[in-house]
Amino acid sequence: MLFKYPELFWAFFLLLIPILIHLFQLRRFKKTPFTNVKLLQKVVSQSRKSSTIKKWLLLFSRLLLLSGLILAFSQPYFAKESASYAKETVIYLDNSFSMQAKTENGTLLQDAVQKLLQGLPKDNTFTLFTNDKVFSNINLMDVRNELLNLPYTYNQLGFKDILLKGKNFFSEDEKSIKYLVLVSDFQNRTALQETDTLRNIQTFMVGVKAENLDNSVLDSAYVAEVNATTIDLSVNLTTTSALETIPVSLYNDDKLIAKTAATFDKNRKSNVTFTLPANEVIIGKIEISDIGLPYDNQLFFNINQKDKIKVLSVSESDSEFLKRIFTEDEFIFADVRMNNLNYSILESQNLIVLNELKTIPVSLKNTLSDYTQKGGHLIIIPAFDSNIESYNSFIGNYYSTSFINRIDEERNITGINFDHPLYKNVFAQRVSNFQYPRVTSYFKTRTTAPKILSLQDKSAFIVGLDGIYLLTAAINNTNSNFKNSPLIVPTFYSIGSNSLKSPKLYNTLGQITTIDVKAEWAKDNILKVTRKEYEFIPEQQSFSNKTVLTFNYNPNKDGIYTISEDSRPIQNISFNYPRTESESIYAELDILNNNSVNNLTEVFETMEKDNRVTELWKWFTIFALLFMLAEVLIQKIFK
The pLDDT score that the predictor gives to residue 577 is 92
Q: What is the pLDDT of residues 401-415, one digit of tens each?
A: 999 999 999 999 988
- Which domains can be identified in the chain, with CATH numbers? 2-80+616-637 (no CATH), 83-212+584-611 (3.40.50.410), 216-301 (2.60.40.10), 309-498 (3.40.50.880), 507-576 (2.60.40.10)
- The mean pLDDT value of the chain amounts to 82
What residues have CB less than 8 Å from 477, skipping those under 6 apart?
Answer: 318, 483
The arithmetic mean of pLDDT across residues 336-365, rounded, is: 90
- Give the C-alpha separation, 349 to 518, whole Å: 11
The pLDDT score that the predictor gives to residue 615 is 65
- Position 301 pLDDT exceeds 90: yes
User: Which of these ranges, 27-31, 102-106, 131-135, has the smallest mean pLDDT?
Assistant: 27-31
Taking alpha carbons only, the member of 521, 516, 543 closest to residue 376 is 543
User: Which of these ranges, 188-192, 388-392, 495-499, has the smallest mean pLDDT?
Assistant: 188-192
What is the maximal distance between C-alpha atoms in the chain?
Answer: 166
- Give burial (CB, 10 Å; 0-12/13-18/19+) of 553: exposed
Q: Is residue 572 a contact partner of residue 563, using CB atoms and an 8 Å limit?
A: yes
- Position 436 pLDDT exceeds 90: no
- Give the C-alpha separation, 61 to 617, whole Å: 19
- Give the C-alpha separation, 331 to 50, whole Å: 125
The pLDDT score that the predictor gives to residue 34 is 55
- Give the C-alpha separation, 540 to 130, whole Å: 31
User: Which of these ranges, 187-191, 374-378, 592-596, has the smallest mean pLDDT?
Assistant: 592-596
- Output 543 or 166, whichever has higher pLDDT: 166
Q: What is the pLDDT of residues 459-517, one digit of tens each?
A: 999 999 989 999 999 999 999 999 988 889 889 998 988 887 667 889 999 888 888 88
User: Which of these ranges, 75-79, 249-253, 388-392, 431-435, has the smallest mean pLDDT?
Assistant: 75-79
- Give the C-alpha separation, 321 to 381, whole Å: 13
The arithmetic mean of pLDDT across residues 310-315, rounded, is: 92
The pLDDT score that the predictor gives to residue 194 is 57
Taking alpha carbons only, the member of 147, 146, 172, 144 closest to residue 88 is 172
- Output 14 or 354, whichever has higher pLDDT: 354
The arithmetic mean of pLDDT across residues 521-545, rounded, is: 81
The arithmetic mean of pLDDT across residues 335-346, rounded, is: 89
Q: What is the pLDDT of residues 219-239, one digit of tens each?
A: 999 888 777 678 889 999 999
Q: Is residue 11 a contact partner of residue 70, using CB atoms and an 8 Å limit?
A: yes
* DSSP labels, 456-505: TTS-EEEEEETTEEEESS--STTTB-GGGSTTHHHHHHHHHHHTS-PPPS
The arithmetic mean of pLDDT across residues 128-142, rounded, is: 87
The pLDDT score that the predictor gives to residue 329 is 81
The pLDDT score that the predictor gives to residue 390 is 92
The pLDDT score that the predictor gives to residue 377 is 92
The pLDDT score that the predictor gives to residue 286 is 94
543 — pLDDT class (breaks 50, 70, 90)? confident
Q: Percentage of residues in the chain with pLDDT exceeding 90?
A: 28
The arithmetic mean of pLDDT across residues 355-359, rounded, is: 92
Q: What is the pLDDT of residues 4-40, one digit of tens each?
A: 666 667 777 776 777 777 776 655 555 556 555 555 5
- DSSP code, position 423: G
- Position 549 pLDDT exceeds 70: yes
- Position 77 pLDDT exceeds 60: no
Taking alpha carbons only, the member of 573, 575, 555 closest to residue 564 is 573
- Position 443 pLDDT exceeds 60: yes
Taking alpha carbons only, the member of 197, 198, 110, 206 closest to residue 152 is 110
User: Which of these ranges, 165-179, 285-299, 418-432, 435-449, has the smallest mean pLDDT?
Assistant: 418-432
| pTM confidence score | 0.64
